[in-house]
Amino acid sequence: MDCPLCSVSRNDIVWQDEYCRVILADDPDYPGYCRVVWGEHAVEMSDLAPDEQRRILDVTLAVERALRALMNPDKINLASLGNKVPHLHWHVIARFADDRHFPESIWGREQRPGCPRAKPERATLARRIADELSHISIIH
């Protein structure tokens, strides 16, 4: 199987634990665009045990809270598609009213040229995600 999310470079990983990892996408139009990727190859949320489902959702929500705190976006978009890459992952995207596609999804019709923003620093984002998860129990 040739799955691009099964063989992610360690250089792309912002944060990880034994269950999933967070990747900061290299997208200059959406500097707060992260993917939360389940560690083992799975296709759907229902492929996971209930405690594993809770873990990937906990991490996804921790990334959302971290991006909100670090970037103060107008909106956060969450999406789990997997039509092109059928490996369980969540898109967590910081959105701004002046970005290229707002109010459309980032895969929708372009609305304007967009306004450049700085990407959150990887180490700062990693610390913030870890802080957000520090009060949540880890699955066993």
Asked if the structure places residue 34 within a domain, the reply is yes
How many of the other CB atoms lie within 10 Å of CB of 44? 10
Asked if the structure places residue 3 within a domain, the reply is no
**Cβ-based neighbours of 46, under 8 Å, separated by 6 or more:** 53
Asked if the structure places residue 5 within a domain, the reply is no
pTM over 0.75: yes
Asked if the structure places residue 69 within a domain, the reply is yes
Please give the tally of structural domains in the chain: 1
Cite the beta strand spans of 1-139 per DSSP E. Answer: 13-16, 20-24, 33-38, 75-79, 89-95
pLDDT averaged per 10 residues in sequence order, the chain, 140 residues: 78 89 90 93 95 96 96 96 90 96 95 90 91 75
Cite the beta strand spans of 17-113 per DSSP E. Answer: 20-24, 33-38, 75-79, 89-95
Asked if the structure places residue 27 within a domain, the reply is yes
Asked if the structure places residue 114 within a domain, the reply is yes
**For the domain that residue 17 is a member of, what is the CATH number?**
3.30.428.10
Asked if the structure places residue 138 within a domain, the reply is no
Give the domain range for residue 110. 10-133
**Cβ-based neighbours of 71, under 8 Å, separated by 6 or more:** 31, 32, 94, 117, 120
Asked if the structure places residue 1 within a domain, the reply is no
